[in-house]
Amino acid sequence: MGRSRYRVVEDGKPYFITSSVIHWLPLFTVPALAEIVIDSLNFLRQQRRLTVHAWVLMETHLPLVATSHDMSGEMRKAKSYTARCIVDFLESHGPAFFLKELQFFKKPHKDQQTYQVWQEGIHPKLIRDERMLRQCIEYVHYNPVKRGYVDRPEHWRYSSARDYAGNKGLVVIDRLS
């Protein structure tokens, strides 16, 4: 896990976590890059390494509610894998602007790599009760509404709000409420 005061204290419990792109670059405005993250979430769920309860992919970050028996480890591996795929895609297809920015904003101590896609850490917050769970799910789903992108959470393509509204979403989820 990154250099953060936030820690996973109880594996196997639901957490609200957020992974953000370095310097808040809007990588996920490129649909192919968004698909990399979606495919990774589906893979982790299929392999029973991560249970996804709620998620939304915004242009700069991924907030989600999830459970894992090794949350820190699984998210570290997922971020590493998606970062490699994102860099590979950008090197092949561009836009080159993003590669230049990922290189420029890379932290100095990351001297073994050319680019940095994700900010360090996942900022995990243990969900302690049903009330907090509902608040976290609502917060996740209302991200695109608060940004003014859609009027209703379920209208955002990259969100589990569609599942909670009775439709099929892009990532298979396991509802807690």
> What are the tens digits of pLDDT across the range 101-122?
999 999 999 989 999 999 999 9
The pLDDT tens digits for 133-156 are 999 999 999 999 999 999 999 999
CB atoms near residue 2 (< 10 Å): 14
**Below-50 pLDDT ranges, the chain:** 1-4
Overall domain count for the chain = 1
As a whole number of angstroms, the distance between CA 150 and CA 112 comes to: 40
As a whole number of angstroms, the distance between CA 94 and CA 133 comes to: 39
Domain that holds residue 138: 14-164
In 3D, which of 110, 47, 45 has the Cα closest to residue 80?
A: 110
* Residue 177 within any structural domain of the chain: no
Using alpha carbons, list the distances in angstroms from residue 128 to 17, 119, 133, 164: 14, 26, 8, 21
CATH number at residue 134: 3.30.70.1290
